[in-house]
Amino acid sequence: MQRSVITSLVQNRTFSSLHHRNFRLLWIGTLISNSGDWMDMVAFNWLVLELTGSPFYLGLVNFCRAVPVLLLTIFGGVAADRVERRKLMMITQAIAMILALLLAAMVSLGIASVWAVMVIATLRGILMSFNLPARQTMLSDLVPRDNLSNAIALNSVTLAITRIIGPSLAGILISLVGVAGCFYINGISFLAVLWTLHAMEIPPWKKSPDGVSVRQSLVEGFEYIRSRSTIMWLVVIALVPMFFGQPYITMLTVFARDVLDIGSVGLGVLTSASAFGAIIGALMLASLKSSAPWGAIMLLGMTAFGLLLIVFSYSTWPAISVLLLIAIGIVSASYNSSNNTLLQLNVPDEFRGRVLSTMFTSRGMVPLGTAMAGILAALFGIEAAVASMGAVIVLLGIVITIVVPSLRKL
């Protein structure tokens, strides 16, 4: 029965990439790994509050986790172009497993301190800086070119699903087995991820030329981006909307309490609505052919993302706000997945890790954007803060559509 379910899925265009065994294994591993990451993040935050009771330290721990992603992901891209990507992923996942089990043991023994948590958070951020580029660039090694857009979209579906599964599991596990038990389970889950990587049958890796330094590799990567305007604009589109747009997820707490007055339960609904929309958007893209107008989809999705943020920021009706967040999730997934697809299709393999790593620095930029949103909210109100940041995205979308018409034709 299980085989018949898989067969029916892969025969559907939306799930066609699952026909390839290597991608199936990566998909399963990503589902487990990202669920664990979200579960780990919730447990981390809960532990910090238990240890300190201070929102300041909560922000500081998350800052420790984000800064390495911002500063070191480009070096992770260099590594993804110089080292066998599966081997790099296995090393980072194995170390992450050790850190999870170490923290679990410290909590169990009652010797965990906020400073130890900050160190482990920083180390996890460093590992993520090398794992993200390797995982994303490996997609092109696992599926044929005509299935790449589908694989990227399905990968986005997985990320959106785990945004719901991970935090939900963390809440249940913390209440059942405590924070330490949550970390133990997360640590053990890495064994499944390592098995999926080990079970893949990867084509022989083409070793990069000897004698090329890390610094030279970085320079070559930035020079490649600078000398190709299309790639440069795709990187800008990957970064700027993340800085100005994605902080809305953190700001949902303020909207639930101060604007919509729906409490913590309402906050859960708002957050889930956004993730649900992202699943829909990614599935819609997965059903498209590789010859789809990805450039037009990307620009339209980005502009719509900014417009919907503006409308949402001034909504005072909870039901309308939920619908708007579903729509925001759809267009956000659409522009992100199409942008990723265009970068993967237009960058040669020897530069793919370095180019995509610039895109992943956006994960470190989101906390900076959140800080800016907090300052604007304190000065002008949360509605004006999110609306103004959405307006920047709309302006960027219009300007790029007019100034760089070639992107529409990609």
Q: Is it the case that residue 16 has pLDDT exceeding 70?
A: yes
pLDDT at residue 208, rounded to an integer:
58
Burial of 78 (0-12, 13-18, 19+ CB in 10 A): buried
Q: How confident is the model at residue 9 (pLDDT cuts 50, 70, 90)?
A: very low
pLDDT at residue 94, rounded to an integer:
92
d(CA 29, CA 134): 14
Provide, rounded to the nearest whole percent, the portion of the chain with pLDDT above 90: 13
For 298-345, the pLDDT digits (tens) are 899 999 999 999 999 998 898 999 999 999 999 988 888 888 888 878
pTM of the prediction?
0.76
Q: How far does Cα 193 stand from its chain's mean position?
A: 18
Question: Token match 């009771």: residue?
Answer: 53
For 118, phi then psi, to 5°, come to: -65, -40
How many alpha carbons lie under 13 Å from residue 271 in its C-beta half-sphere? Answer: 22
Q: Quick one: which of 154, 229, 208 has its CA closest to 405?
A: 229
d(CA 299, CA 338): 9
For 84-111, the pLDDT digits (tens) are 888 888 899 999 999 999 999 999 998 8
For 345-400, the pLDDT digits (tens) are 887 777 777 777 777 777 667 777 777 787 888 888 888 888 999 999 999 999 98
Q: Quick one: which of 156, 150, 41, 57 has its CA closest to 100?
A: 41
User: Could you give the domains of the chain?
Assistant: 1-201 (1.20.1250.20), 213-410 (1.20.1250.20)
Residue type present at position 399: V
For 150-170, the pLDDT digits (tens) are 877 787 778 778 877 877 777
Q: Is it the case that residue 204 has pLDDT exceeding 80?
A: no
Stronger pLDDT, 210 or 15, i.e. the higher one:
15
pLDDT at residue 303, rounded to an integer:
93
pLDDT at residue 1, rounded to an integer:
45
Q: Quick one: which of 333, 308, 334 has its CA closest to 322?
A: 308
Burial of 247 (0-12, 13-18, 19+ CB in 10 A): buried
d(CA 349, CA 81): 8
Stronger pLDDT, 57 or 310, i.e. the higher one:
310
Q: Are 251 and 385 in contact (CB under 8 A)?
A: yes
d(CA 323, CA 277): 9
DSSP 111: -
d(CA 41, CA 182): 11
Q: Quick one: which of 32, 324, 332, 330 has its CA closest to 165?
A: 32
Output the average pLDDT for the chain.
Answer: 81
d(CA 91, CA 80): 12
Q: 298-315: b or e for each residue (b if 16 or more CB lie within 10 Å)?
A: bbbbbbbbbbbbbebbeb
Q: Quick one: which of 75, 60, 187 has its CA closest to 129?
A: 75
Radius of gyration of the chain (CA): 21
pLDDT at residue 95, rounded to an integer:
92
For 231-262, the pLDDT digits (tens) are 888 888 888 888 888 888 777 777 887 888 88
